[in-house]
Amino acid sequence: MEKTKILIVEDEEAISDLLAYRLAGEGFETRVAASGAEALRELGRARPDLLLLDWMLPDMSGLEICKRVTADYNIPIVMLTAKSDITDKILGLEFGADDYITKPFDLREVAARIRTVLRRLAQANQSGEDADKSDAFRFKDVAVSPQERLVTKDGRTVDLTPKEFDLLVKLFRYRGKIFTRTELLDLVWGYDFAGDTRTVDTHIQRLRKKLDAGDLITTVFGVGYKFEKRAD
């Protein structure tokens, strides 16, 4: 059975060595990158299943790497940081991170958080396959294939982050239903998500802009969001 591959991006050698040793003992295959540039090269070569990413790196911020990764790859990201302010945590999550661990940390917690993120992703993919296997859909000039996790607009591929894609599918499948921000957090990010409802607002804004769908993904003031029922 092929091992789950984790890329550890951490410039402090003592920490990366400890993480690599512990995660290897947990049955993961690990690689280590000490800088952002090295991490981006390793992503293309190794194609890891999860990125364990330090916020502060010598050549670029973890947020910049997070932004690039979510634009080009469909892999989960767990951020490691000494920053404990809730605003920083929300910022990391809004840039595409799936979880956030504050230093100093217990190695057992890191392994447990990684397994939780991977399990949540597997469950989301499975439920998506079960529910949406045969149901590609279209609206306006946008075509969506849930099975391929592919979105095109006027025949050109639109790059959505994993969460943007899941949010779009959920809203479209229940056209006309009004979701509160909290409901969308639970359904798309998971009940134990550490962010707040501003994350939903940010993702909705990006979806509207990328798909030119401000007239279809609408705000119900004081409540939340819905995908309009009308067909285009």
The single residue listed with the structure tokens 């990158």 is 33
- Where along the chain do the CATH 1.10.10.10 domains lie? 162-227
Q: How many residues does the chain have?
A: 232
Please give the chain's pLDDT, 232 residues, in tens: 678 999 999 999 999 999 999 999 999 999 999 999 999 999 888 889 999 999 889 998 888 888 888 777 778 899 888 766 666 667 777 777 888 888 888 998 899 889 888 887 776 656 555 544 557 898 989 999 988 889 999 989 998 888 889 899 999 988 999 999 888 888 887 755 555 678 889 889 989 999 999 999 999 998 999 999 864 4
- Measured between alpha carbons, how far is 227 from 213 in angstroms, rounded to an integer? 9
- Where along the chain do the CATH 3.40.50.2300 domains lie? 5-126
Contact yes or no for 181/224 (Cβ under 8 A): yes
DSSP letter for 61, please.
B
> Structure pTM?
0.61
Q: Which CATH number fits domain 5-126: 3.40.50.2300, 3.40.190.170, 3.40.190.10, 3.50.50.60?
A: 3.40.50.2300
* AA identity, residue 173: R
30-42: burial string, b at 16+ Cβ within 10 Å, e else: bbbbbbbebbbeb
3-state secondary structure at position 216: coil
Write the CB contacts of 23 (distance below 8 Å, at least 6 apart in sequence): 6, 8, 30, 52, 110, 111, 114
95-134: burial string, b at 16+ Cβ within 10 Å, e else: bbbbbbbeeeeeeeebbebbeebbebbeebeeebeeebee
- Measured between alpha carbons, how far is 23 from 21 in angstroms, rounded to an integer? 6
- Measured between alpha carbons, how far is 49 from 38 in angstroms, rounded to an integer? 17
Q: What is the CATH number of domain 162-227?
A: 1.10.10.10
**Parallel, antiparallel or unpaired: strands 142-145 and 137-139:** antiparallel
Q: Which two tokens stand for residue 173?
A: 């499948």
| Residue 7 φ then ψ, to 5° | -100, 120
- Measured between alpha carbons, how far is 117 from 98 in angstroms, rounded to an integer? 7
Give pLDDT tens digits for 35-57: 999 999 998 888 899 999 998 89
